[in-house]
């Protein structure tokens, strides 16, 4: 419990609105969480898995109409519409509050209200922020207890401050027509109704850690970014840290948990995972950019995760994990998903709860967006810095996308502002996984398009302003593309652990120890400066994915110009000048 008056007043208002039968305050104790797990298994909300093979692991199924984030139902409710910008859905705040309160009114009748105090980032860290989520879902309580730091220590850290984020989640009837995830940046408030799916209801995740936090960061002079954080340890024992932003389906978690190739492991290289999804970055007392992962767990996509693609991620799921919308093997009470192995259960239950034989069924056993919620401490390569709360100093920032042609394997921006330009033009080509046409270029600046809590033009300006404050201590900015295809449509670069070969060049550039070739788009490695030891690839093949094709880039520049028009007069002049500069160099 807390004596914080701003918290108590708000909870009383919400209780009067949703009228719960009981109120339970989450204290963070294992005893309380275990009692909730038992209760969830009794009601069927969760299924207890084989405790010998998967200790502390449970399975949950969401409603069939509630399986992913709903961007068309996600709103930024700033007081002025222009502050939300052209890439967000906007609703007038008072109108939105009324609509949401009308939907949520009385929806906790006969249900329990759980009060979850949580810290994004280690409790008490200068990087951290506090939230309170009210929910009528035990699934949410148990997931939040993995993904964030929860419990009574959060109240101690908050004291009597009113600087905390309010979050109301109401399952209501899981009615897709009345499903809304709404953010009120000026009020530090998030409201989610009619969903039970993690991405819409774990309000600490994208809602707080990116949409609300990006707005707080702009106002308070720091950055909330959709970025992994990893540390590369060289044979001398020195560790340098990198943050990287990629749109979905571009191997973000794989890079965050990278296992070095054997030739590197033998020399003593190690990779440490600080975070796989979100980075909060501040300028430290030394003038450098420091980053923490505000989360305490991984909310990963299950399909495709296996012992080859990401052994560290798979290892994370072997204890204390909640699986959502995967298949269940009834013979031994374990779980299965497409891409896990070639041995699907014959006596199984699919993600919808129907009997399923993986050997004969044409239906998928797991939903393509099925998830695992796993504690970060399970990760074999979790960084020793993970819980310290002091952050890690960032040497390099990497942007990337999925491009079959055009973008080389890696290039370095000309300077910070040019790097902001590189981030602002980030793009991926649509794959068969996305609905619609394949091969269409989709721009996703800094991988933040669905997650920026304010006008993206102002967001670009904030990046430029941060660069000015950092001066010559700013991290170097790079772009990578692991996805170049040959004429047969096969990937040329092997990817996965071999991406360390590219990171090695990037870090050498940061230390002024590697050469580069200047091109119209930036600095590209010399083929001989990327280590190919132990790799079945010729220098000629490598050179082919380092080349910059001026014609392709001239076409790209036209697409960028068109994209920039979206942001109107809020598009920073600096970035328009960067585009003009690129077009000039291409001529």
Token readout for 568 is 């109107």
| CA distance linking residue 447 with residue 428, whole number of Å | 10
The strand ranges marked E within 389-524 are 392-400, 410-412, 427-429, 441-443, 476-480, 517-518, 523-524
SS3 track for 231-274: EEECCCCCEEEEEEECCCCCCHHHHHCCCCCHHHHHHCCEEEEE
12 by DSSP, 3-state: which?
A: helix
Q: What is the 3-state secondary structure (H, E, C) of 262-325?
A: HHHHHHCCEEEEEECCCEEEEECCCCCEEEECCCCEEEEECCCCCCCCCHHHHHHCCCCCEEEC
Q: Which two tokens stand for residue 347?
A: 């006596």
What order do you get walking across the sheet with 47-48 strand by strand? 47-48, 58-60, 322-324, 371-375, 297-301
Q: Using an 8 Å Cβ cutoff, are 116 and 97 in contact?
A: no
Pairing state of beta strands 297-301 and 279-283? unpaired
CB 226 within 8 A of CB 451: yes
Contact 190, 207 (CB under 8 A): yes
Task: Please tell me which residue in 172, 207, 250, 316 is annotated as part of the active site.
Answer: 250
Q: Give the pair of three-digit tokens for residue 531.
A: 């280590």
Tell me the three-class secondary structure of 68-128, residue by residue.
CCCHHHEEECCCCHHHHCCCCEECCHHHHHHHHHHHHCCCCCCCEEEEEEEEECCCCCCCC
Q: Phi, psi (5° rounding) for residue 476?
A: -75, 150
452 among known catalytic residues: no
Catalytic residue annotation: 250
């Amino acid at each position: 419990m807390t004596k914080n008056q701003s918290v108590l007043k708000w909870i009383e208002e919400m209780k009067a609105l949703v009228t719960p039968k009981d109120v339970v305050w989450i204290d963070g104790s294992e005893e309380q969480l275990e009692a909730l797990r038992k209760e969830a298994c009794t009601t069927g909300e969760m299924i207890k898995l084989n405790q010998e093979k998967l200790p502390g692991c449970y399975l949950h199924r969401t409603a069939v109409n509630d399986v992913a984030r709903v961007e068309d139902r996600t709103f930024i409710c700033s007081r002025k519409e222009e502050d939300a910008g052209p890439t967000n859905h906007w609703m007038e705040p008072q109108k939105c509050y009324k609509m949401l309160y009308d939907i949520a009114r009385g929806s906790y009748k006969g249900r329990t209200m759980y009060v979850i105090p949580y810290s994004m980032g280690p409790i008490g860290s200068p990087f951290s922020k506090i939230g309170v989520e009210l929910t009528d879902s035990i699934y949410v309580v148990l997931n939040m207890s993995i993904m964030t730091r929860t419990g009574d220590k959060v109240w101690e850290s908050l004291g009597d401050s009113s600087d905390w984020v309010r979050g109301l989640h109401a399952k209501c009837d899981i009615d897709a027509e009345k499903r809304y995830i709404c953010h009120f940046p000026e009020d530090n408030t998030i409201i989610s109704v009619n969903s039970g799916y993690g991405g819409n209801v774990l309000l600490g995740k994208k809602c707080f850690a990116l949409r609300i936090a990006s707005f707080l960061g702009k106002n308070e002079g720091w950055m909330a970014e959709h970025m992994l954080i990893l540390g590369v340890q060289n044979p001398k024992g020195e560790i340098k840290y990198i943050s990287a932003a990629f749109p979905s389906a571009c191997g973000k978690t794989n890079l965050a948990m990278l296992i070095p190739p054997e030739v590197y492991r033998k020399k003593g290289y190690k990779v440490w995972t600080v975070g796989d999804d979100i980075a909060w970055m501040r300028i430290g007392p030394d003038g450098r950019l420091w980053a923490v992962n505000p989360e305490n767990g991984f909310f990963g996509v299950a399909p495709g995760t296996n012992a080859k693609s990401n052994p560290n991620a798979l290892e994370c799921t072997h204890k204390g994990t909640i699986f959502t919308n995967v298949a269940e093997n009834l013979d031994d009470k374990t779980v299965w998903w497409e891409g896990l192995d070639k041995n699907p259960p014959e006596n199984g239950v699919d993600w919808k709860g129907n009997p399923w034989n993986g050997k004969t069924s044409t239906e998928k056993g797991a939903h393509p967006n099925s998830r695992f919620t796993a504690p970060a401490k399970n990760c074999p390569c979790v960084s020793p810095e993970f819980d310290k709360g002091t952050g890690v100093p960032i040497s390099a920032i990497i942007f990337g996308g999925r491009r079959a042609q055009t973008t080389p394997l890696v290039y370095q921006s000309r300077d910070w502002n040019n790097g902001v330009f590189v981030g602002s033009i980030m793009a991926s080509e649509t794959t068969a996984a996305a609905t619609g046409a394949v091969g269409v270029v989709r721009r996703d600046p800094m991988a933040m398009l669905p997650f920026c809590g304010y006008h993206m033009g102002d967001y670009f300006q904030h990046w430029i302003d941060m660069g000015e404050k950092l001066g010559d201590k700013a991290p170097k900015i790079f772009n990578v593309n692991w996805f170049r295809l040959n004429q047969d449509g096969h990937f040329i670069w092997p990817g996965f652990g071999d991406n360390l070969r590219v990171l090695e060049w990037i870090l050498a550039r940061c230390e002024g120890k590697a050469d580069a070739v200047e091109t119209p788009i930036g600095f590209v490695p010399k083929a001989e400066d990327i280590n190919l030891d132990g790799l079945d690839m010729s220098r000629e093949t490598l050179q082919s994915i380092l080349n910059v094709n001026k014609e392709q880039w001239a076409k790209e520049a036209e697409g960028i110009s068109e994209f920039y028009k979206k942001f109107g007069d809020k598009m920073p002049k600096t970035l328009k000048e960067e585009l003009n500069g690129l077009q000039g160099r291409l001529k």
